Amino acid sequence: MTPERIESISNHPDFQHLVRHKRRLNGSLTLTMLVAYYGFVLLVAFAPGVLGQSLAGGVTSVGMLVGVLMVLLSFLLTGLYVHRANNVLDPLNEKVKQECAP
């Protein structure tokens, strides 16, 4: 690929929109997961008694519930990314490829 071609693709408004949208999506999902994970780690470090409490007097603890919620959050964020990639990013990528085809 020639430098001129790379320059023309880089200056294409749809390509710039694609890059901005993908960065914003990746950043927000990453930040969400990091806040949740480090919040969980800080809870384990500074309030382990909270996680050891029983839920409704049973054998399941609050820590088990929080752990399951962390796993579900990761699945949810992955599903959100796949949905946005399939419905927003991929069509925009195809549009840029078609408009910038040689």
d(CA 19, CA 15): 6
Q: How confident is the model at residue 73 (pLDDT cuts 50, 70, 90)?
A: very high
The one-letter amino acid at 11 = N
- Asked if the model's pLDDT at residue 1 lies above 80, the reply is no
| Percentage of the chain modeled with pLDDT above 90 | 69
- Mean residue pLDDT across the chain: 92
Q: Residue 7 contacts by C-beta under 8 Å, 6 or more apart in sequence?
A: none
Q: What is the pTM of this model?
A: 0.83
What value does the mean pLDDT take over residues 39-65?
Answer: 90
- Closest-CA residue to 81 (of 36, 32, 47, 34): 32
20-33, pLDDT tens digit by residue?
Answer: 999 999 999 999 99
Other CB atoms within 10 Å distance of the CB of residue 42? 10
